[in-house]
Chains A and B, each alone.
Chain A
Amino acid sequence: MRTALAIARKELSLYFTTPWAYVVFTAMVALSSFFFAALLETFQQVQQMARETTWAQMPPEYDSYRNLTEGVAVQLWGTVIIITLFVAPFLSMRLFAEEKRNKTFELLMTAPVRPIELVVGKYLGGLGIITATLALTLLFPALLSFFGRAETGTALEWSTVLVGFVGVLLWGATCMAVGLFISALTESQMLAALLTFAVLLPWMLLTSVAQASEEPVRSVLTYLSFDSQLQHLLKGVLDVQSFVFFASVIAFSLLLTHRAVEVQRQA
């Protein structure tokens, strides 16, 4: 386990000694602040409309705009999920591909390190960097709760926001696990990033395919889609089923990575 931690530490320090971490942090914060501002704008407009009439006369789909938690924070997590989809492949792509290009893979494989420790160490490093990236977005709910006001109680329901954030973290962890596996398959970082994206995006969008198909395919596809699995968590409902789902996807990806590392030596 100590070796796995040493590998994780090395991964993290490499992210921070190269521009990668900073570029990704900037992209994450810049993009989500853009969406955050847009969400605030809409929120304000709807509130304005409601003040001119009454909430009872407003169309029902505007109901979520009655408070900042559902009107802004929950929707913000929805956009962070999408940004993560674009950003995570750039973080995961180097994990194994770079080692192979650098010929340092040979060093790792001839050191007294079990492949499982290598995979776990790499994954922990990836988990560290994605957590740091996503943690930056907590800034936005913090701003809301600092400056926002509500008719009753606190401006923001932190329990809902934090459960949503757990969902975001789970999603980030899943992206990194899939990315880790794909990175173990190739020497080219660009190819690893592209393939990761090509796997994650359609998987995310399975719901739209599901809607066009018939039962029982429909239920299966809906269950498998990342999007529908995340829905409850993002809204602040602790959903054990989604935890099991994402944990399985992560475990399966790590298992495949382990196999890929083992097979690599045979080639």
Chain B
Amino acid sequence: MPMIEVQHLTRRYRDRVAIEDLSFDVAEGELLGFLGPNGAGKSTTMKILTGFLPPSEGVVKVGGFDVTTHPLEVKRRIGYLPETPPLYPEMTVRGYLRFVASLKRLPSRGLDTEVERVASLTGVTHVLGRLIQNLSKGYKQRTGIAQALLGAPPVLILDEPTEGLDPAQRAEVRALIKGLAGKHTVILSTHILPEVTMTCERVLILNQGRIAAHDDLGKLAGLHGPSESASLEEVFIKLTAA
């Protein structure tokens, strides 16, 4: 059974259609790259998967649970990093992570160990005592990722996790995400194409609210490119040009 099932998903904002009739599956342990130009509906889809937005039509199931009828079961299984990391500037990193852990209903015994674990995974251990408002953008982003990892949820949904990081930090976060695949099912959205080639096995390209492509990375380049060596960038531009 796939970890995430999306069937005929449509979302309208008043009369504007953000996504239309999306259907796709994500298998357990898969790392799916979510691509598309700005405004293609990536964030909207992610917000629906996490139960933040209700779908206008269609069915979304995570771990076999329907988002609309069993929202709590779904939310318990997902770690989510929104586009803007949801941080409280006046809190310390430790205080923030402890708060999110209690929101996620993690048992209070072992809570500190769990905070230490995600902090060391994301490399924020040495800033745990600092106020979030005094952190650099990179550390804020990492704190956002750490928050998503709390409680080791089976599904991770990361909306542009490398946004605002410098090249070195980007490489670190990429390595971190790659290490998560297998243990977690990951959906990762990004604008940065080389990032997808480096981390993901499968990609889903959205354009104007519809699926333009959903395939293994290797096959995609073969199908659409003029030659075997066609880059993802060429495929992307070709598919989203319409």
Q: Mark A72-111, 1 if CB is under 8 A from B, else 0.
A: 0000000000000000000000000000001111111111
Is A10's CB under 8 angstroms from B99's CB?
yes
Tell me whether A6 is interfacial, beta carbon within 8 Å. Answer: yes
Does A265 sit at the interface, judged by CB under 8 A? Answer: yes
Q: Across the interface, which residues of A come within 8 angstroms of B87, CB to CB? A: 102, 104
The residues of B that contact A104 with a CB separation of less than 8 Å are: 86-88
Stretch binding the partner chain, chosen from B17-25, B30-38, B100-108, B187-195: B100-108
- B14-61 contacts to A (CB < 8 Å): 47, 50-54
Tell me which of A3, A102, A106 contacts B105 (CB under 8 A). A3
B143 to chain A, nearest CB (A): 12
Q: Is the CB of A106 within 8 A of B52?
A: yes
A108 to B51, CA, bound (A): 11
B83 to chain A, nearest CB (A): 8
Establish whether residues A265 and B103, one from each chain, have CB atoms under 8 Å apart when the complex forms: no
A109 to B50, CA, bound (A): 9
Q: Is A139 located at the chain interface by the 8 A CB criterion?
A: no
Give the chain B neighbours of A108 by CB distance below 8 A. 103
Known A6-B103, A10-B99: A103·B82 in contact at CB below 8 Å? yes
Does A51 lie at the interface of the complex (its beta carbon under 8 Å from any beta carbon of B)? no
Interface centre among A14, A17, A107, A109 (most CB of B within 10 A): A107
User: A102-B86, A103-B86, A110-B51 are known contacts. Are A6 and B72 too (CB-CB below 8 A)?
Assistant: no
B76 at the interface (CB under 8 A from A): yes
Query: In the bound complex, what is the Cα–Cα distance between A14 and B91 (angstroms)?
Result: 8
Among B53, B80, B89, B102, the one with the most A-chain Cβ atoms within 10 Å of its Cβ is B102
A18 CB within 8 Å of chain B: yes
List the B residue with the shortest CB-CB distance to A104.
B86
CA distance A161 to B158 in the complex (A): 56
Contact A110 B88 (CB under 8 A): no
Q: Are B91 and A17 in contact (CB under 8 A)?
A: yes
- Against A, the Cβ 8 Å flags (1 = close, 0 = not) of B145-178 are 0010000000000000000000000000000000
Closest CB in chain A relative to B179 CB, distance in Å:
23
Closest B residue, CB atoms, query A111: B103
State in angstroms the CA–CA spacing of A107 and B147 once bound together: 10
Residue contact B52 to A110, C-beta cutoff 8 Å:
yes
Known: A6-B99, A110-B51, A110-B75. A103 touches B104 (CB 8 A): no
In angstroms, Cα B238 to Cα A164, docked, is 74
The interface bits of chain A over 111-142 (1 if a CB of B lies within 8 angstroms of the residue's CB, else 0) are 11110000000000000000000000000000
* Closest Cβ–Cβ distance, residue A97 to chain B (whole Å): 14
Contact of A114 among B72, B84, B99 (CB under 8 A): B72
List the B side residues contacting A14 at CB < 8 Å. Answer: 88, 90-91
Q: Which of B82, B91, B100, B102 contacts A106 (CB 8 A)?
A: B82
A-B contact pairs, 27 of them (CB 8 A): A6-B99, A6-B103, A7-B103, A10-B88, A10-B91, A14-B88, A14-B90, A14-B91, A102-B88, A103-B82, A103-B86, A104-B86, A104-B88, A106-B82, A107-B82, A107-B103, A109-B51, A110-B52, A110-B78, A110-B80, A111-B100, A112-B76, A112-B104, A112-B105, A265-B52, A265-B53, A266-B53
The 9 closest A-B pairs by CB, nearest first: A107-B86, A6-B102, A111-B103, A112-B75, A104-B86, A103-B84, A112-B76, A110-B50, A17-B90
- List 12 additional A-B contacts (Cβ < 8 Å) besides A102-B87, A111-B75: A3-B103, A3-B105, A6-B99, A6-B103, A18-B90, A103-B82, A106-B52, A108-B103, A110-B78, A110-B82, A112-B75, A112-B105
